[in-house]
Every structure is written in structure tokens, then in C-alpha cells.
């Protein structure tokens, strides 16, 4: 199936959101003479106060919440109807995207259309600013001319509002050691998501890799708002490279895909956003391939991946190829492995082109293993309800149904992974060198119980959405239930909007 390019637009605002072509504009940064930016809070480099669990309350269903407070909202609207206009509200962000060796894109979304400016300061007295060309709600401000492996401080201003200063470090130009944090499936439970996010704030790493399903309904603006509220500090200070999940896909309604691309589209090396649900980026000696796992793998994504992997074979200095996709080929969780990847030869394609590590999500568990010559980790534990072990994939080497995240360190041929529960406690520490198999220092998760005998060996029952594809029969009750929940929530929301 061909993945159609999307055009980003705002169907609800009178002023259009930036379309993808906005990022093709490359103006030289302007030198400014503003006062030095105050230094932001610097994330700690070590783990973490395990008692620091946030008091984030579950607030679902939202429609009911709005109904309850609708009279109060109406009263406030009347009371303040004649009040003078306040400064603009930054609703989402600022957050980092397309972070590379010499550039970064700072994105933000406002409550009302305003012009926006980002100011950046760095080593050697570097100062630059980039202003939007018009008043609008969504801004993607690209700044180039940065130095590799350098730390910068930035803040944005828009309509009288100013963000807190935040900080980022550009990618290195050489193959030096680096770290990153992996998490996924942060949807559906804001309380747990917030707890995991607070722990990740203290985890060392230059950037994030998210394995998809950031929200339950990619077309639901409130859920995106919730994500950006919980991850405000994370996304302001480190760039998140995201593989799209089935819950961001809302086809045939394209709103989910469009929204995902607006916020987290993969980019070219120069920061131009790709109008596709897949892409790649390089950091030090490693190239990451961000894939749309829900594709049928019969069209343009497969051909792109084949060409991209072939090109990576000739890439100077490259020592690791890492695939990131939501529904991976191996899993002992509820969904099981993604059979389409095997049927269409994607796993073999990866192995033949030296992909040595794969990160997936979709099953809300921690799982580590190796299959068809590729080491993998399923990391889908950043908030969504946990799944039991319901399959017995022969590739599985460790399994634990727990909320968690991963700290990954790359140093030459070596890759080390520390898997941590939401409490900060270590699940296990494993790594490998070159083409070797996993080697683990601790292995609590190996003692995880095997699945019930009746379920062992069963194949995937995933009800995930596949544009143009068909769901497998065993998953239809889940799909039907999910559809009913979505429909109910939309009805409740519409009702509350009418009442307000
Ligand atoms: Fe999923």
C-alpha cells in the first residue's frame, strides 16, 4: 500500500497552521543583542528520587468533566467578556524537533494567533533569533548555524508570553559515545504517564526515542494537550524522535496522521519535514530508522526502507543500525508479533542490511529477545494499561509486565541498556558488542512467569489499525470496544461544547 503524503493544516482555526513547506525556508539567524538568557534547570545526570511520584489525577471521560463544569465555564465567560485582553497563552511547547549537528526546530502552539520568536544563546557568545513571518497558532521555527556537540539555551516569546528558558545539545560531528532514553505507549493513563515522565526527566540521555501510541486517539486535541502538558519539561529540553503508533492513525479520518506530522514528523538532514510517516536520522555512529509499522509493506515505505538501508551500508563511520517501529516482529504480549513484517520480508531485509537492534512498543510490557539475527526490545510501558504475557514467542529472553523506560548508552561497538521500572528500580542491565548476542548483568525479568498453557504459542491477535488492511478475526471484539469508546467520547465532547 502506498502511504499518501499529508498536508498539515488546521481545520478549526481561521488562520492556517504552518504547512510543511514552512520548514523549507532557511533564513540566516539574526544576531541579537538581548540580555543573556537565564540558565534553565539542568536535568540531573543520575537516577533518581524514587519517591517523587506526581499527584496527577485521572480525569476521564473528558466529556463528562466538561458537562459538570459547563455552567461555571459559562459564568466565567460572561464575567470576563469585557476584560482587557491578556497576554498570549503557549498551550504546547516550546518543544524541540529535527535536532541535528548544526540546526534545530523549535515548535510551539498558541491559544490564539500570534507572531512568535525564538532566541538562542550558545558557546563563544553565540546569539541568534528566528521570528515567524505571520501571526498564527502553530509555529515551527528553524534555527541553523549551530555547532556540533554544543549546548544551547533558548526561549520563545509570543504575544507577550514568554517561555521558561530551556536547553539542548546538538548532535556530534564525530563518533563519540552517546546516550538516549526509550519509552512508548504513554497513552490512556495520565497519572502513570506522569510518573514515568518524572523519572525520565532525571535519566541521562541526549534525546528520546518514542515507540508510538503517544495518545489514545490521534484526532483528539485534548489528548495531545494532555501529552504536551505532562511532557512539557521533557520535550523542551530534549528532542523526541517518534515512530507513529496505531492510535495516532485514525484513517479513514486523516486528522490523526496530520496532527502527528505537525508535531513529530521525521525530517531530512537539513531539517525539512518529510510528508511521510517514516524517516531516519543519524546520531554519532548510529542511524535510526523510524517506521510506520502499521503499513502493509507492499508500497513506498518498503521501497524507501530498502534504499535507505542500502545507502547506510556505505555510510562512513556507521557502526549501528537501529529500527524503531510500534508493532514489532517479535512479542510474547497480548498482540504477539507483527506478522506482516515477516510475510513481506522486512525482518530479513533488516537483518541483511545489518540492523542490529530494534525497538518496538504496542504490547504494554518490557520484553527483550533476539529473532532472525536481530536483537529487540519491546518497550510499551510509559503509561498505558499493562498486558499479561499471553503468547510464548521463541525469541523472548526476558519479559515483565511493568511500567518502565530504557536508558541506552552507545560507545563504539558496544550498546548497553538499563531497563528501569517506573520506580527507578532496575529490571535488568543488558548489552552487546558488534554482532554478539545479548549479555546481561542482572536478569530479574527472566524469572517472569510463563503464559497460561492455553494461550502459549498462539499467534498475534492484534486489532491494530492498518490503513487498507484487514483486522485479524480474534481481535475484533477489542476493535469494536475501542470504536464504541471513541464514539462515546466524541459525543460527550460535542454535547459539552454545545452546553458551554
Ligand atoms: Fe499500539
The pairing of strands 404-411 and 178-183 is antiparallel
Question: Distance, CA 389 to ligand 1 centroid (Å)?
Answer: 16
Considering the chain, what percentage of its residues have pLDDT values greater than 90? 69
At a CB cut-off of 8 Å and minimum separation 6, what does 271 contact? 23, 98, 100, 103, 104, 105, 142, 144
Judged on CB neighbours under 10 Å (0-12, 13-18, 19+), 28 is: exposed
Question: Distance, CA 363 to ligand 1 centroid (Å)?
Answer: 7
The pairing of strands 374-379 and 357-360 is parallel
Question: Distance, CA 494 to ligand 1 centroid (Å)?
Answer: 26
Question: Distance, CA 215 to ligand 1 centroid (Å)?
Answer: 10
Contacts 24+ apart (CB under 8 A), 72-79: 73/500, 74/499, 74/500, 77/500
* pLDDT on residue 53: 33
Question: Distance, CA 285 to ligand 1 centroid (Å)?
Answer: 29
Question: Distance, CA 277 to ligand 1 centroid (Å)?
Answer: 15
**Residue 35: half-sphere exposure toward Cβ, Cα within 13 Å:** 3
* pLDDT on residue 86: 57
Question: Distance, CA 302 to ligand 1 centroid (Å)?
Answer: 20
Residue 99 has pLDDT above 60, yes or no: yes
Q: 91-95, 235-239, 477-481: lowest mean pLDDT where?
A: 477-481
Q: What is the SS3 assignment for 359?
A: strand
Q: How far is residue 484 CA from its own chain's centroid?
A: 26
At residue 232, φ and ψ (nearest 5 deg) are: -55, -50
- Compute the distance between CA of residue 116 and CA of residue 95 in angstroms, rounded to an integer: 14
72's grid cell:
461555571
Residue 365 has pLDDT above 80, yes or no: yes
Mean per-residue pLDDT, 205-225: 97
Question: Distance, CA 475 to ligand 1 centroid (Å)?
Answer: 13
Residue 462 has pLDDT above 90, yes or no: no
Residue-range domain boundaries for the chain: 20-41+88-169, 178-447
Mean per-residue pLDDT, 7-13: 30
Q: Which one has a higher pLDDT value, 85 or 95? A: 95
At residue 139, φ and ψ (nearest 5 deg) are: -125, 140
Q: What does each C-alpha distance from 244 to 27, 76, 185, 336 come to in angstroms? A: 30, 39, 10, 18
CATH code for the domain defined by 178-447? 3.60.21.10
DSSP secondary structure code for residue 235 in this structure: H
* pLDDT on residue 496: 34
186 neighbors 196 (Cβ within 8 angstroms): yes
Q: Which one has a higher pLDDT value, 451 or 301? A: 301
Alpha-carbon torsion 237, 241, 246, 250, what sign?
positive
pLDDT digits (tens, 9 = 90+) for 262-310: 999 999 988 899 999 999 999 999 999 999 999 999 999 999 999 999 9
Is the backbone peptide bond immediately before 94 cis, with ω within 30 degrees of 0?
A: yes
Question: Distance, CA 5 to ligand 1 centroid (Å)?
Answer: 22
* pLDDT on residue 220: 96
Question: Distance, CA 200 to ligand 1 centroid (Å)?
Answer: 21
Question: Distance, CA 382 to ligand 1 centroid (Å)?
Answer: 12
Q: 157-171, 340-354, 469-483: lowest mean pLDDT where?
A: 469-483
Measuring CA to CA, which residue among 235, 227, 221 is closest to residue 188? 227
Q: 141-150, 187-196, 235-244, 465-474: lowest mean pLDDT where?
A: 465-474
Question: Distance, CA 242 to ligand 1 centroid (Å)?
Answer: 13
Question: Distance, CA 294 to ligand 1 centroid (Å)?
Answer: 9
Question: Distance, CA 452 to ligand 1 centroid (Å)?
Answer: 23
Question: Distance, CA 362 to ligand 1 centroid (Å)?
Answer: 4
Considering the chain, what percentage of its residues have pLDDT values greater than 70? 71
Question: Distance, CA 421 to ligand 1 centroid (Å)?
Answer: 20
Question: Distance, CA 328 to ligand 1 centroid (Å)?
Answer: 10
Where residue 58 falls among pLDDT bands split at 50, 70, 90? very low
Question: Distance, CA 416 to ligand 1 centroid (Å)?
Answer: 26
Say if domain 20-41+88-169 classifies as CATH 2.60.40.10: yes
* pLDDT on residue 430: 98
- Compute the distance between CA of residue 77 and CA of residue 82 in angstroms, rounded to an integer: 9
Number of residues that make up the chain: 500
241 neighbors 324 (Cβ within 8 angstroms): yes
Question: Distance, CA 20 to ligand 1 centroid (Å)?
Answer: 26
Question: Distance, CA 346 to ligand 1 centroid (Å)?
Answer: 19
Is the backbone peptide bond immediately before 61 cis, with ω within 30 degrees of 0?
A: yes
Q: 132-141, 216-225, 378-387, 469-478: lowest mean pLDDT where?
A: 469-478
Question: Distance, CA 283 to ligand 1 centroid (Å)?
Answer: 26
Question: Distance, CA 476 to ligand 1 centroid (Å)?
Answer: 15
Based on DSSP, count helices (H) and strands (E) in the chain, helices before strands: 9, 22
Residue 45 has pLDDT above 90, yes or no: no
Q: What is the SS3 assignment for 461?
A: coil
Question: Distance, CA 125 to ligand 1 centroid (Å)?
Answer: 45
Question: Distance, CA 98 to ligand 1 centroid (Å)?
Answer: 24
Mean per-residue pLDDT, 91-113: 97
Rg (CA), the chain: 22
- Compute the distance between CA of residue 369 and CA of residue 376 in angstroms, rounded to an integer: 5
Question: Distance, CA 287 to ligand 1 centroid (Å)?
Answer: 24
Question: Distance, CA 223 to ligand 1 centroid (Å)?
Answer: 15
Question: Distance, CA 304 to ligand 1 centroid (Å)?
Answer: 23
Q: What does each C-alpha distance from 295 to 52, 79, 254, 378, 495 come to in angstroms? A: 39, 51, 15, 19, 35
- Compute the distance between CA of residue 221 and CA of residue 215 in angstroms, rounded to an integer: 10
Q: 102-106, 410-414, 465-469: lowest mean pLDDT where?
A: 465-469
Question: Distance, CA 115 to ligand 1 centroid (Å)?
Answer: 36
Question: Distance, CA 385 to ligand 1 centroid (Å)?
Answer: 11
Q: Which one has a higher pLDDT value, 159 or 25? A: 159
Measuring CA to CA, which residue among 165, 109, 174, 164 is closest to residue 137? 109
Question: Distance, CA 260 to ligand 1 centroid (Å)?
Answer: 15
Question: Distance, CA 326 to ligand 1 centroid (Å)?
Answer: 7
Question: Distance, CA 380 to ligand 1 centroid (Å)?
Answer: 8
Query: pTM of the full predicted structure?
Result: 0.78
* pLDDT on residue 63: 33
* pLDDT on residue 36: 56
Q: Hunting for cell 515512530 — which residue is that?
A: 243
Amino acid at each position: 500500500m502506498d502511504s499518501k503524503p499529508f498536508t498539515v493544516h488546521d481545520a478549526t482555526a481561521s488562520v492556517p497552521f504552518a504547512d510543511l513547506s514552512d520548514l523549507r525556508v532557511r533564513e540566516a539567524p539574526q544576531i541579537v543583542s538581548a540580555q543573556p538568557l537565564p540558565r534553565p534547570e539542568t536535568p540531573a545526570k543520575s537516577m533518581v528520587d524514587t519517591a517523587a511520584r506526581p499527584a496527577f489525577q485521572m480525569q476521564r471521560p473528558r466529556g463528562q468533566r466538561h458537562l459538570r463544569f459547563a455552567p461555571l465555564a459559562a459564568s466565567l465567560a460572561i464575567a470576563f467578556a469585557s476584560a482587557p485582553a491578556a497576554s498570549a497563552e503557549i498551550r504546547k511547547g516550546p518543544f524541540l524537533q529535527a535536532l541535528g549537528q548544526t540546526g534545530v526546530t523549535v515548535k510551539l502552539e498558541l491559544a490564539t494567533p500570534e507572531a512568535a520568536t525564538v532566541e538562542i544563546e550558545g558557546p563563544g557568545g553565540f546569539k541568534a533569533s528566528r521570528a515567524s513571518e505571520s501571526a498564527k497558532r502553530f509555529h515551527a521555527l528553524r534555527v541553523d548555524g549551530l555547532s556540533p556537540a554544543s549546548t544551547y539555551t533558548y526561549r520563545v516569546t509570543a504575544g507577550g508570553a514568554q517561555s521558561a528558558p530551556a536547553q539542548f545539545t546538538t548532535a556530534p560531528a564525530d563518533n563519540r559515545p552517546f546516550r538516549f532514553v526509550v519509552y512508548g505507549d504513554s497513552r490512556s493513563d495520565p497519572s502513570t504517564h506522569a510518573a514515568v515522565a518524572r523519572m525520565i526527566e532525571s535519566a541521562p540521555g541526549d534525546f528520546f526515542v518514542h515507540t508510538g501510541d503517544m495518545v489514545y486517539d490521534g484526532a483528539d486535541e485534548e489528548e495531545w494537550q494532555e501529552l504536551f502538558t505532562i511532557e512539557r519539561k521533557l520535550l523542551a529540553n530534549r528532542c523526541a524522535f517518534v515512530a507513529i503508533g496505531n492510535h495516532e492513525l485514525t484513517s479513514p479520518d486523516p486528522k490523526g496522521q496530520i496532527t502527528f506530522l505537525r508535531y513529530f514528523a521525521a525530517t531530512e538532514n537539513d531539517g525539512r519535514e518529510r510528508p511521510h510517516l517514516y524517516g531516519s536520522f543519524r546520531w554519532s555512529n548510529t542511524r535510526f530508522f523510524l517506521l510506520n509499522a502499521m503499513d502493509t509493506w507492499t508500497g513506498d515505505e518498503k521501497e524507501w526502507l530498502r534504499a535507505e538501508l542500502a545507502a547506510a551500508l556505505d555510510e562512513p563511520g556507521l557502526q549501528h543500525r537501529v529500527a524503531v517501529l510500534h508493532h514489532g516482529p517479535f512479542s510474547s504480549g497480548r498482540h504477539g508479533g507483527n506478522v506482516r513484517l515477516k510475510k513481506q520480508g522486512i525482518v530479513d531485509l533488516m537483518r541483511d542490511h545489518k540492523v542490529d537492534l530494534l525497538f518496538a512498543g504496542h504490547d504494554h510490557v518490557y520484553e527483550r529477545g533476539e529473532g532472525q539475527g536481530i536483537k529487540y526490545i519491546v518497550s510499551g510501558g510509559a503509561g498505558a494499561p499493562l498486558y499479561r504475557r499471553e503468547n510464548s514467542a521463541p525469541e523472548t529472553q526476558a519479559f515483565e509486565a511493568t511500567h518502565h523506560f530504557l536508558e541506552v548508552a552507545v560507545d563504539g561497538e558496544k550498546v548497553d541498556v538499563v531497563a528501569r521500572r517506573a520506580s527507578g528500580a532496575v529490571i535488568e542491565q543488558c548489552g552487546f558488542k558488534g554482532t554478539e548476542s545479548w549479555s546481561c548483568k542482572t536478569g530479574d525479568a527472566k524469572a517472569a512467569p510463563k503464559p497460561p498453557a492455553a494461550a502459549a504459542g498462539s499467534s498475534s491477535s492484534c486489532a491494530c489499525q492498518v490503513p487498507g488492511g484487514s483486522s485479524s478475526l480474534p481481535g475484533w471484539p477489542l476493535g469494536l470496544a475501542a470504536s464504541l469508546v471513541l464514539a462515546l467520547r466524541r459525543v460527550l465532547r460535542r454535547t459539552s461544547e454545545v452546553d458551554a
